[in-house]
């Protein structure tokens, strides 16, 4: 029972991180119908930026903010320079470009910061809290993780539902031609979407690093888990991304906990295939899946 509770708490924390990655993928998918396979690698790079600042004795919070801003800039930069030229070409082209970005970022990080595993000190303890006499698998850092992802999610929700910018973004994603006719600067809105997605991705990178160490491809598996979560949620729905992230987090925590840590990525592959076969539109989508 105690083990089950531990795995559940672990699963919720990890699930929030996967939800952040899934959210980033959903944001970009809604705007540009592209899956950004470099999302994880972009978060990894901005996390390295934070670590280098902390190494120079700059406060964690400054480093944290700088990493998120770096994510914002990187996201916008990638959209303008690499994605804009391939936006109207075959989907294969965009996938290959993000794949090229993934491998280029990982290789650059390894060349700049070295390939070794690095620890990333968090301002909170990563040792589990004590409830009564027993220690539970929920550390102050885990609570921070859950809170930070929730804050970003709520922030995005408010942006989408309550602001004029959010309305423009939804319009541009839903019907770009009409939005353009109504005076929405669609290109600029798409850039903003990529920038915000990269912030969510950077957050995931910052939150993964204290638990998993930081190394150039530490986000590979996280990206796959986030992608699985996004697919589960329908790839189109922000709420789906959150729920998908939690479900995947819990499922993989149980799989890893009971069958051994190496089985997590196998579990994710199996879940992904089962979901794609049984319910290709995910559990939240309102759009009918494509049929021939």
Interacting residues toward other proteins by CB under 8 A: 29, 34-35, 37, 82, 85-86, 91-93, 95-97, 99-108, 110-111, 115, 216-217, 220-221, 223-224, 227-228, 231, 260, 262-266, 268-269, 272-273, 276-277, 280, 290, 292
Q: Which is nearer to other proteins, 86 or 247 (CB)?
A: 86
Q: Min. distance of Cβ 91 from other proteins in angstroms?
A: 4
* Separation between Cα atoms, residue 224 and residue 217, nearest integer Å: 12
Counting every residue written for the chain, the total comes to: 292
Q: Min. distance of Cβ 195 from other proteins in angstroms?
A: 19
Q: Which is nearer to other proteins, 99 or 287 (CB)?
A: 99
Q: Which is nearer to other proteins, 6 or 263 (CB)?
A: 263
Q: Min. distance of Cβ 286 from other proteins in angstroms?
A: 18
Degrees, nearest 5: CA angle 24-25-30: 100
CB neighbours (10 Å) of residue 1?
Answer: 5
Strand-pairing partners, residue 134, are 131
Q: Which is nearer to other proteins, 62 or 259 (CB)?
A: 259
Q: Which is nearer to other proteins, 143 or 261 (CB)?
A: 261
Q: Min. distance of Cβ 278 from other proteins in angstroms?
A: 10
Token pair recorded at residue 40: 């994880």
Q: Min. distance of Cβ 90 from other proteins in angstroms?
A: 9
Q: Which is nearer to other proteins, 147 or 213 (CB)?
A: 213
**Phi, then psi, of 118 in degrees rounded to 5:** -120, 145
* Separation between Cα atoms, residue 180 and residue 235, nearest integer Å: 24
* Separation between Cα atoms, residue 185 and residue 168, nearest integer Å: 8
At which residue do the structure tokens 């699963």 appear? 11
Q: Min. distance of Cβ 25 from other proteins in angstroms?
A: 9
At which residue do the structure tokens 């319910």 appear? 279
Q: Min. distance of Cβ 129 from other proteins in angstroms?
A: 31
Q: Min. distance of Cβ 269 from other proteins in angstroms?
A: 4
Q: Which is nearer to other proteins, 96 or 158 (CB)?
A: 96
Q: Which is nearer to other proteins, 54 or 102 (CB)?
A: 102
């Amino acid at each position: 029972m105690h083990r089950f509770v531990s795995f559940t708490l672990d699963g919720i924390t990890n699930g929030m991180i996967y939800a952040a990655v899934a959210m980033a993928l959903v944001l970009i998918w809604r705007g540009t119908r592209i899956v950004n396979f470099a999302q994880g690698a972009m978060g990894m790079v901005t996390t390295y930026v934070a670590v280098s600042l902390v190494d120079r004795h700059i406060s964690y919070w400054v480093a944290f903010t700088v990493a998120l801003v770096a994510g914002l800039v990187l996201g916008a930069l990638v959209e303008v320079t690499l994605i804009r030229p391939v936006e109207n070409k075959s989907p294969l082209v965009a996938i290959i470009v993000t794949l090229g970005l993934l491998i280029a970022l990982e290789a650059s990080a390894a060349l700049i910061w070295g390939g070794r595993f690095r620890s990333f000190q968090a301002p909170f303890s990563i040792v589990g809290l004590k409830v009564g006499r027993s220690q539970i698998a929920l550390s102050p850092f885990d609570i921070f993780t859950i809170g930070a992802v929730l804050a970003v999610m709520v922030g995005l929700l408010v942006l989408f539902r309550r602001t004029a910018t959010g309305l423009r973004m939804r319009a541009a994603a839903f019907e770009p031609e009409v939005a353009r006719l109504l005076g929405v600067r669609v290109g600029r809105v798409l850039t903003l979407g990529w920038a915000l997605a990269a912030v969510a991705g950077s957050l995931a990178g910052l939150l993964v690093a204290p638990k998993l160490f930081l190394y150039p491809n530490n986000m590979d598996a996280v990206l796959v888990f986030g992608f699985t979560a996004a697919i589960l949620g329908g790839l189109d729905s922000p709420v789906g991304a959150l729920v998908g992230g939690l479900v995947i987090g819990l499922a993989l925590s149980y799989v890893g906990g009971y069958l051994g840590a190496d089985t997590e990525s196998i579990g994710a592959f199996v879940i992904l295939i089962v979901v794609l076969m049984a319910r290709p539109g995910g559990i939240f989508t309102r759009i009918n899946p494509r049929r021939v």
